[in-house]
Structure 1
Amino acid sequence: MTVIDLGELRGAVEPEPPRPPRAVGRPLRVALAGAVALLTLAASAPVARPASAVVPGGPGVEVLLVGGGRLYVAVPETPGSGGTRGVTVYATPAGAGGVLRPLWRTSVPGGEGLFQVQEHGGFVLITGRRDDRVAETVALDAATGRQRWRQPGFPTPTVGGGLLLSGIVEGETTELLRVVDLPSGRLRWSVPVDRGRTAHHYQGAEIDRVVLIPESGRIEARDAGSGAVLRAGDPHPAGSPGYQSASLAGDLLLLTAHDGIGGSRRVTAYGLAVLDRRWELDLPPTQSLMECGDLLCVGSQEAGLLALDPATLRPRWVNPRWQWVAAVRGDRLLVAADGMRGATVEFAVLDAATGRTVAELGGWEMVPNQDPDGPLFGIRRTREGGLLVAELDPARAVARWLDVLPEIPGECHSAGRDLVCRRPGGTYGWWRLPR
């Protein structure tokens, strides 16, 4: 096993050569070319249009879009974490100019705070927090809204029609991981776990394997459907300082020990097939480890993105201009220039194999999308006070302008090509974005 301390990333491999200087000379020709470009952009810019539909708002109201053309509006019925919310479900119209059609209404736990919605296998899963510790999930029939069951935990679908519920169960002092039958809520299997020390392997949108990393003892990989132990691997060294967390990257299990004092971390990699220990990597507080296609990337504001071979940790490329990976689409990476993910930042498209900058897309604020593999939308304020919406397309390496939303503060989220934003006065607007 190899232990590698990256330290400063500078000089690990040859950086991308700087962009050539802008050509000079013949000022008139340059001015004319710029004027033509501005006229072309103005002609192609979308025209501001009002919301296709307006959703009532108010104090404590939350509006969520979910894939499949549904919009969920939650209104507190009784305030407080132990209260309830009334949830009304609307079908979004087929196109602009239609109206939202109410489908059904229900009450769910949690009058404020956590509110999450998923749709899976003909069911709607709504999660709220019943008190400061216990999150509760309600399973409803997607067509009628009829409640099927209610249990504690955060839900994630598993293969074979199951649902993994994780979190604190009332009366317990440790976290319990349970897998239940999705239609009935019947328990299939359960196991106590250390908080944060589990990892999930996905087959499409569903979990097929659960990896458990106990405080001491051997690491286990279990079948998500039955709970059967598929493989037990190298024991994790006990007594590692600070908080520990687990994640998966390709065919590797990454266990990260966090130094609670200095912020440094040690990442230990295990092969997922046989759970054998592969390598360890020390990261200072200023560096972050992330997936970038088939490689691993270490990002920092000081040195940019360094791509590593996940099998050997051998440096493959470095690009000093960008610091984190926002999305991976095939052989292209959507990257950004700093770590301020909630604000407007500079985005670009890189070639995942070489780190070469394919195109710079300008400054945008990313819009959260319910579908992790769905389109990537960015927003930014126009000089006229509208909100410009663009699709950040890594495949075409362009930021394609789609719409301008008038007088929108900018609090938006999306699902598929549907967009919801808060409007002045507290109401919400819904738009169907063009392709």
Structure 2
Amino acid sequence: MTVIDLGELRGDVEPDPPPRPPRAVGRPLRAALAGAVALLTLATSTPVARSASAVVPGRIGTEVLVVGGRLYVGDLERPGTGGTREVTVYAPPAGAGGALRPLWRTSVPGEEGLFQVREHGGLVLITGGEDGWAATVALDAATGRQRWRLPGFPVPTVGGGLLLFGRDEDETTDPLRVVDLSSGRPRWSAPVARGRTVYHHRGAEVDRVVLIPESGRIEVRDAGSGAVLRAEDPRPGGSPGYQGVSLAGDLLLVKANSGAGGGSRVTAYGLAALDRRWELDLSANEYLEECGDLICVGGREAGLSALDPATRRPRWVNPRWQWIVVARGDRLLVAARKATLEFTVLDAATGRTVAELGGWDPVFNQGPDEPLFGTRRTREGGLLVAELDPARAVARWLDVLPDAVGECYSSGRDLLCRRPSGAHGWWRLPR
């Protein structure tokens, strides 16, 4: 178990050709200048920092996650140990040339399949499972001592609660339950089918739960007590072909089969009173999601279009792009699959192109508010790492990792990537 100081991480990088600036005809001069500055920053930035890389211990089949500045390594235990993983938690090295420091070890459910870690309220919540079941173990973050084990995927709620959804190995239904975070004692529960529930967040915690039982009746519940705050019966005949439910601002979007070529019909309700606002038919290849203050319809063939959430009237159409990656303030980071996955920044209000960021392999991260990173191969076989910043409309080059090959994952500014040997490396990215 060693830490390697990589020295100055440089390399000859083969960047994309400088992207063509957006046309400025008919636009304010300041918008054109802002786009030009963003593109110049993309084209001329170079990695300027040195990263210390720690080699992560493990073997084939080892799961590795970095959460809250600590490393979680899940190894398969010996056959016959009851379908569990041994998890070792490491603190980061003190600096280049230091060593990973093991903090504690524990056994958790799930010999294979899902391995998920989150830290909340002084506890570490490790979830494992496979074939549709999941179980969460709550551990003391300082010592690794187990507090409780319960079935389901964890989501923190207001008032010191934890929402758990999903079945354990010996269950046939998918109950939703809310428990006390520190003790695991039950607060309330309700039966609900998978895909028929959605959570409204206040900051990082859930304050309201929307669920639709088999009857199709829409219920809005207080996350702390389970009390029904609002309820709405479906239209006559129920909600046949039900597909899913989602939130966009203060709107609840309920999706059901329309019966037309595999398409769907989305009904929008006001979340506060469950009053029906509007309906929209989508083709089989289209989807609907929040994009800033608007609602966007996306699809491979039609591109992106934005709707006024109050009236459903169209605001803009941009046929070049297929997916909303993230909305940050008045900017959207969007993508389309070409020779590579191409990214660009749009003005959320108009759909206008602000800056094109080029082709990147996206790095999976833990949440929508975390930094967004992309990687690109260098001539020497390493990885160029950049921060994709929609607010500033730039892809800011951070570092070159000569001994990384891909399969990257980030948490905050910690980055895990696969090395040529098959093991992982752990880098602390500069700001």
Please tell me the residue identity of whatever aligns with 1:71: L
Give 3-state SS (helix, strand or coil) of 1:372's partner.
coil
- Residue in structure 1 matched with residue 347 of structure 2 by the alignment: 351
What is the rounded CA distance, in whole Å, between the counterparts of 1:284 and 1:295 in structure 2? 20
Please tell me the residue identity of whatever aligns with 1:184: S
Deviation at 1:215, TM superposition (A): 2.7
Q: Residues 276 and 97 from structure 1, CA distance in 2 versus in 1: closer, same or farther, beyond 3 angstroms?
A: farther
Deviation at 1:381, TM superposition (A): 0.8
Deviation at 1:123, TM superposition (A): 0.3
What is the rounded CA distance, in whole Å, between the counterparts of 2:306 and 2:81 in structure 1? 44
- Residue in structure 1 matched with residue 294 of structure 2 by the alignment: 295
What is the rounded CA distance, in whole Å, between the counterparts of 2:236 and 2:109 in structure 1? 40
- Residue in structure 1 matched with residue 275 of structure 2 by the alignment: 276
1:58 aligns with 2:54: no
1:141 aligns with 2:137: no
Which range moved further: 161-170 or 246-255? 161-170
Q: Residues 352 and 82 from structure 1, CA distance in 2 versus in 1: closer, same or farther, beyond 3 angstroms?
A: farther
1:398 aligns with 2:394: yes
What is the rounded CA distance, in whole Å, between the counterparts of 1:85 and 1:206 in structure 2? 28
| Per-residue CA distance 1:343-385 (angstroms, 9 max, x = gap) | 9411111111111111000001110111320111011111221
Confirm or deny: 8 A CA contact 2:216 2:239 kept in the other structure.
Answer: no
Confirm or deny: 8 A CA contact 1:50 1:406 kept in the other structure.
Answer: no
Please tell me the residue identity of whatever aligns with 2:351: G
Please tell me the residue identity of whatever aligns with 1:378: G
Give 3-state SS (helix, strand or coil) of 1:118's partner.
strand
What is the rounded CA distance, in whole Å, between the counterparts of 2:190 and 2:126 in structure 1? 23
Please tell me the residue identity of whatever aligns with 1:57: G
What is the rounded CA distance, in whole Å, between the counterparts of 1:408 and 1:377 in structure 2? 15
Q: Residues 352 and 194 from structure 1, CA distance in 2 versus in 1: closer, same or farther, beyond 3 angstroms?
A: same
Give 3-state SS (helix, strand or coil) of 2:86's partner.
strand
Q: Residues 350 and 80 from structure 1, CA distance in 2 versus in 1: closer, same or farther, beyond 3 angstroms?
A: farther
- Residue in structure 2 matched with residue 115 of structure 1 by the alignment: 115
Give 3-state SS (helix, strand or coil) of 1:347's partner.
strand
Give 3-state SS (helix, strand or coil) of 1:371's partner.
coil
What is the rounded CA distance, in whole Å, between the counterparts of 2:90 and 2:259 in structure 1? 45
What is the rounded CA distance, in whole Å, between the counterparts of 1:132 and 1:323 in structure 2? 31
What is the rounded CA distance, in whole Å, between the counterparts of 2:233 and 2:352 in structure 1? 38
Q: Residues 57 and 171 from structure 1, CA distance in 2 versus in 1: closer, same or farther, beyond 3 angstroms?
A: closer
Deviation at 1:82, TM superposition (A): 5.2
- Residue in structure 2 matched with residue 432 of structure 1 by the alignment: 428
Deviation at 1:319, TM superposition (A): 1.5
1:83 aligns with 2:83: yes
What is the rounded CA distance, in whole Å, between the counterparts of 1:382 and 1:237 in structure 2? 60
Deviation at 1:114, TM superposition (A): 0.9
Please tell me the residue identity of whatever aligns with 2:210: V
Map 1:358-397 onto structure 2 (within 5 A): 358-397=354-393
Deviation at 1:52, TM superposition (A): 1.6
Confirm or deny: 8 A CA contact 1:52 1:430 kept in the other structure.
Answer: yes
- Residue in structure 2 matched with residue 103 of structure 1 by the alignment: 103
Deviation at 1:285, TM superposition (A): 1.6
Moved beyond 6 Å, runs of 4+: 47-50
Taking structure 2 as the reference length, the TM-score comes to 0.86
Map 1:414-433 onto structure 2 (within 5 A): 414-433=410-429
Q: Residues 345 and 86 from structure 1, CA distance in 2 versus in 1: closer, same or farther, beyond 3 angstroms?
A: same
Map 1:27-426 onto structure 2 (within 5 A): 41=44, 44-46=45-47, 52-66=53-67, 68-79=68-79, 83-93=83-93, 96-129=96-129, 132-169=131-168, 171-216=170-215, 218-235=217-234, 238-258=237-257, 262-338=261-337, 344-426=340-422
Confirm or deny: 8 A CA contact 2:174 2:193 kept in the other structure.
Answer: yes
What is the rounded CA distance, in whole Å, between the counterparts of 1:325 and 1:361 in structure 2? 14
Please tell me the residue identity of whatever aligns with 1:203: R
What stretches of structure 2 of length at least 5 have no aligned partner? Answer: 1-20, 26-39
Which range moved further: 134-143 or 81-90? 81-90
Give 3-state SS (helix, strand or coil) of 2:364's partner.
coil
Give 3-state SS (helix, strand or coil) of 1:325's partner.
strand
Confirm or deny: 8 A CA contact 1:81 1:132 kept in the other structure.
Answer: no
Q: Residues 261 and 171 from structure 1, CA distance in 2 versus in 1: closer, same or farther, beyond 3 angstroms?
A: farther
Deviation at 1:288, TM superposition (A): 1.8
Confirm or deny: 8 A CA contact 1:137 1:155 kept in the other structure.
Answer: yes
Taking structure 1 as the reference length, the TM-score comes to 0.85
What is the rounded CA distance, in whole Å, between the counterparts of 2:298 and 2:216 in structure 1? 32
Which range moved further: 47-56 or 323-332? 47-56
What stretches of structure 1 of length at least 5 have no aligned partner? Answer: 1-16, 22-36
Deviation at 1:268, TM superposition (A): 1.2
- Residue in structure 2 matched with residue 28 of structure 1 by the alignment: none
How much identity, in percent, do the aligned residues show?
77
Deviation at 1:261, TM superposition (A): 9.1
Please tell me the residue identity of whatever aligns with 1:299: G
Confirm or deny: 8 A CA contact 2:216 2:238 kept in the other structure.
Answer: no
Please tell me the residue identity of whatever aligns with 1:414: S
| Per-residue CA distance 1:225-280 (angstroms, 9 max, x = gap) | 11111112243554544352111110011111246994312111111010112111
What is the rounded CA distance, in whole Å, between the counterparts of 1:396 and 1:410 in structure 2? 26
Confirm or deny: 8 A CA contact 2:192 2:214 kept in the other structure.
Answer: no
What is the rounded CA distance, in whole Å, between the counterparts of 1:18 and 1:373 in structure 2? 28
